[in-house]
């Protein structure tokens, strides 16, 4: 089976893109063993644990990212430059096991995947 990378690059609550991406990721995780997850650009905001989407009447799907471990999805990466540019410190990421990498290293890892799906 092909290796598949999922890139989250949009903010979590401005559209349904992130929620749909997470649904696709978990569905694929049930079928495939070679999955990578990448958070870049505005997508790093998916990792912040202290969000309160109910204040804007949005569904709290961010906590569902914790299920990645249950689906044996272990290759989770976040762009260091994106974190710094948005003022997000790595401690704010919460309990998700994500490895912060410089952009060039992130791109190298991303190039190893056969298919790339972006949200």
Asked whether the beta carbons of 99 and 93 are under 8 A apart, the reply is no
- pLDDT value of residue 101: 94
Number of domains in the chain: 1
Higher pLDDT pick, 93 / 103: 103
Residue-number span of the structural domain to which 84 is assigned: 4-118
Q: How confident is the model at residue 103 (pLDDT cuts 50, 70, 90)?
A: very high
Q: What is the mean pLDDT of residues 31-47?
A: 91
Q: How confident is the model at residue 3 (pLDDT cuts 50, 70, 90)?
A: very high
- pLDDT value of residue 109: 97
Residue range 49-90, pLDDT digits in tens = 766 656 656 666 667 777 788 888 999 999 999 999 998 876
Residue labelled with tokens 């979590």: 12
Q: What is the mean pLDDT of residues 15-20?
A: 85
Higher pLDDT pick, 58 / 22: 22
- pLDDT value of residue 87: 85
Q: Which stretch of DSSP H or E encloses residue 117?
A: strand 115-118
Domain holding 59: CATH number? 3.40.1260.10
Q: Chain-wide mean pLDDT for the chain? A: 86
Helix extents (H) in the chain: 17-29, 80-85, 103-110
- pLDDT value of residue 102: 97
């Amino acid at each position: 089976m092909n290796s598949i990378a999922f890139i989250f690059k949009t903010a979590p609550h401005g559209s349904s893109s992130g929620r749909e991406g997470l649904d696709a990721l978990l569905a694929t995780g049930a079928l495939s063993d070679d999955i990578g997850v990448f958070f870049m650009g505005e997508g790093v905001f998916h990792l912040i644990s202290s969000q309160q989407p109910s204040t804007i009447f949005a569904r709290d799907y961010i906590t569902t990212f914790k299920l990645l471990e249950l689906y044996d999805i272990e290759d989770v990466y976040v762009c260091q430059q994106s974190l710094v540019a948005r003022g997000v410190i790595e401690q704010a990421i919460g309990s998700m096991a994500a490895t912060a990498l410089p952009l060039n290293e992130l791109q190298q890892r991303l190039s190893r995947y056969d298919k790339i799906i972006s949200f």
